Structure 1
Amino acid sequence: MAVLEQALLPVRAGSEAAFEAAVAEARPLIEASPGFISLHIHRPTGTGQPYLLLAEWRSVEDHRDGFRQSERYQMWRSLLHPFYDPIPEVSYFGDAL
């Protein structure tokens, strides 16, 4: 059973282009993680709305205990977290109904 990680990314206004460039640089860090399946980041349709991150993992532990405890995550965080206000909260979801 795969799990879906969801986060709303509140990117600071005016930094959207730089954020999207940082995502392109950070993407290989998450893709190299054990248990990683896919990553989709969707642009907001309105001004001031958050981006939507959807990442699929083999398990919650692969994300939480694997990626988030790794040096790759520290690099991911240094690239992307400066754009957020506030820091996003992550939720996990199981199989679709």
Structure 2
Amino acid sequence: MIYEIALLPIHIEQANAFKHAFAEVAPLLCRAKGYAGHMLAQGIEAPEVFNLIVQWESLEDHTPGFEASEDHRVFMLRLEEFFADEPTVYHIEGAGIG
């Protein structure tokens, strides 16, 4: 399994609107090839940074897969207005918890 970890810095005053917008576009992520689950969590020490962790079957399912898709374009287009800065994205490899 591959985990995509995205640090999403948002305008803190728009946190609730961001959560709502994410819920609206989450189905685009969930239907991607190789998608195996995700978690969106707001930071405690840095509440202006949301952490998105997506589990993928392979790195190729995320990139170039989902990242090159029209669904990703729409997904990002809906969320980009909330970003205070560019998201940071990286990947790790590991087994699932449990």
TM-score by length of 1: 0.90
Is the aligned partner of 1:36 residue 2:35? yes
Residue number in structure 2 paired with 1:19: 18
Query: Partner amino acid for 2:29?
Result: I
Query: C-alpha displacement at 1:48, in angstroms?
Result: 4.6
SS at match of 1:30: helix
Is contact 2:11-2:48 (8 Å) kept? no
How far apart are the structure 2 equivalents of 1:33 and 1:75?
13
Ranges in structure 2 where 5+ consecutive residues have no aligned partner: none
Query: Partner amino acid for 1:18?
Result: A
Query: Partner amino acid for 2:63?
Result: R
How far apart are the structure 2 equivalents of 1:87 and 1:44?
17
- Change in CA separation of 1:62 and 1:47 when aligned onto 2, cut-off 3 Å: closer
- Map 1:79-90 to 2 at 5 A: 79-90=78-89
How many pairs are equivalent? Answer: 95
More divergent stretch after superposition (33-42 vs 78-87): 78-87
How far apart are the structure 2 equivalents of 1:47 and 1:9?
11
- Map 1:1-97 to 2 at 5 A: 2-46=1-45, 48-95=47-94
Which portions of structure 1, spanning 4 or more consecutive aligned residues, are displaced by more than 3 angstroms? Answer: 46-49
Query: Partner amino acid for 2:35?
Result: F
Q: CA RMSD in A?
A: 1.3
How far apart are the structure 2 equivalents of 1:76 and 1:51?
16
State the identity %. 29
Ranges in structure 1 where 5+ consecutive residues have no aligned partner: none
